[in-house]
Structure 1
Amino acid sequence: MNNRTFVIGDIHGGLNALQQLLGSIDLKKTDQLIFLGDYVDGWSDSPGVISYLIDLKEKYDCIFIRGNHDALCHNWLIQDTYNPEWIQHGGQVTMDAYADLSKDEINAHIYFFEKLTNYHIDDQNRLYLHAGFTNLHGPQREYFESLFYWDRTLWETALAVDPTLTKEDPKFPKRLQLFSEIYIGHTPVTRIEKTTPVNAACVWNIDTGAAFKGPLTALEVNSKKYWQSDPVYTLYPEENGRN
């Protein structure tokens, strides 16, 4: 298979890591890039990440998934709302960075956030989304949109599945029977002391902790080969990220 599809984990304002990561891949015009969301909050380059992604879409086939931090930032940009939870989890550094942008730049970013998609299903029945879904009939019938970028039960379920079970077993979770593979971010694998992509059941978690002490990761979904930046905190030595 000549065409490659890369899925990229949570960036959290780490533009230096994103540029280093993509620079290491030797991208081709035929490559597809699927970003799993959480482009902002953590490191100081959140607006720079959005501008970079807008430009990147002019060169490559890119799909941008909505993350919970992206939804929070978008709400702030359009409503000027003060959300204490967002401020506590990386929003303040994003607010500070946006103070340097022009009105036209901010409007372009608002448009970017508006066009984010909640999930993507490819022609091989692989699902890509930021966090998860809860409806046993699939994301197409999910009752609450916010679950696509806030849910953690999908990942918790995948981690709890007995690895000896097959999808045909009646005890295998119904949500995980719907797709050949599911790619998510949202819950850093550093929580289970990993810094590389983790596969549980049919779910691949690509959030390798870029917001904290881990690297930023891109995984090619056909070969399962992955690339990583340096630990992102080493690229921002004067900052604390979300630590």
Structure 2
Amino acid sequence: MTGFPEDVGDKDQGRLLAVGDIHGCLDHLERLMARVEPTQSDRIVFMGDYIDRGPDGKGVIDYLIEFGGRFPETVFLKGNHEAMFLDFLAGRNQWLFLYNGGASTLESYQEERGIRIPKAHFNFFSTLRLYHETDKFIFVHAGLRPGKPLERQEEKDLLWIREEFITSSFDWGKTVVFGHTPQKQPLLDKNKICVDTGAVFGNSLSCCDVEKRRCWTSRPLPPA
């Protein structure tokens, strides 16, 4: 439990779901999705940071590509770790990627003849979106620069901003749903929802029905 009601809601209505930062934790992702039980009527937004630090970045991307095929309304956002990986593959700022947990991702792609990134994976990384907007919500990996409208936000802030956004009371006219900055449990403020609960740091992976503010976690069930 997250401290908030865990409920499947009314699946016939369809849910608007946000999934926090996975960071190579395929076991958490599989356990979480088994509890959420997504359906074709749901709209699901994955908030980025699918790779690095955790043990199975490649497995997570395999899972997400297959998931997107089964649920075509799914939105995949870019996180700062995907941006760093793309830079690494292009020969830019390679030290930054490795410093931030990239070695575990490279290890997951290791084959007998070396590291191989499947074309489908490269296409996945290359087509990630910086944000997703609905009538009531803005989904973005890290947050927004206070005082700037959405169309004037810079990619660096969308992927990296922390305290300036989290501590701000600026009203963008919609609830901003984000990840990037781990919380002990989903943060459900009046105009902000954070779904990163630090799965790779020993906590859990979280999913939130942002309209009903109902949450699920991947935390293992206690022994019977």
Instruction: Answer whether TM exceeds 0.5 for this pair.
Output: yes
- Give me the whole-angstrom Cα distance separating, in 2, the residues matched to 1:100 and 1:89: 22
Further displaced range: 109-118 or 128-137: 128-137
TM-score under structure 2 length normalisation: 0.85
Structure 2: which 5+ runs fail to align?
Answer: 1-9
- Give me the whole-angstrom Cα distance separating, in 1, the residues matched to 2:174 and 2:143: 15
Q: State the Cα distance separating 1:82 from its structure 2 match.
A: 5.9
Is the 1:37–1:64 contact (alpha carbons within 8 Å) kept by the matching residues of 2? yes
Q: State the Cα distance separating 1:214 from its structure 2 match.
A: 0.9
Counterpart residue number, 2:217: 228
2:135 to 110, 123, 136: 123
Matched, 1:109 2:121: yes
Q: Provide the secondary structure at the position in 2 that maps to 1:11.
A: coil
- Give me the whole-angstrom Cα distance separating, in 1, the residues matched to 2:202 and 2:76: 24
Structure 1: which 5+ runs fail to align?
Answer: 159-172, 232-243
2:152 to 122, 126, 141: 141
Matched, 1:53 2:64: yes
Further displaced range: 113-122 or 97-106: 97-106
| Cα distance change on mapping 1:85 and 1:148 into 2, 3 Å | same
1:145-224 alignment, distance < 5 Å? 145-158=155-168, 173=169, 176-189=170-183, 194=184, 196-224=185-213
Number of residue pairs matched? 207
1:121-171 deviation per Cα after TM superposition (whole angstroms, max 9, x unaligned): 1122x11000122262322112x312110111344324xxxxxxxxxxxxx
- Give me the whole-angstrom Cα distance separating, in 1, the residues matched to 2:105 and 2:142: 21
Is the 1:132–1:154 contact (alpha carbons within 8 Å) kept by the matching residues of 2? no
Runs of 4+ in structure 1 over 6 Å off: 101-104
Is the 2:87–2:94 contact (alpha carbons within 8 Å) kept by the matching residues of 1? no
Q: Provide the secondary structure at the position in 2 that maps to 1:211.
A: helix
Is the 2:144–2:165 contact (alpha carbons within 8 Å) kept by the matching residues of 1? no
Percent identity, please.
31
Counterpart residue number, 1:14: 25
- Give me the whole-angstrom Cα distance separating, in 2, the residues matched to 1:153 and 1:117: 23
Is the 1:21–1:217 contact (alpha carbons within 8 Å) kept by the matching residues of 2? yes
Q: State the Cα distance separating 1:81 from its structure 2 match.
A: 4.5
Q: Provide the secondary structure at the position in 2 that maps to 1:58.
A: helix
Q: State the Cα distance separating 1:199 from its structure 2 match.
A: 2.3
Is the 1:17–1:216 contact (alpha carbons within 8 Å) kept by the matching residues of 2? yes
Q: State the Cα distance separating 1:114 from its structure 2 match.
A: 1.0
TM-score under structure 1 length normalisation: 0.78
Q: Provide the secondary structure at the position in 2 that maps to 1:96.
A: helix
Q: State the Cα distance separating 1:80 from its structure 2 match.
A: 4.1
| Cα distance change on mapping 1:154 and 1:200 into 2, 3 Å | farther
Q: Provide the secondary structure at the position in 2 that maps to 1:3.
A: coil
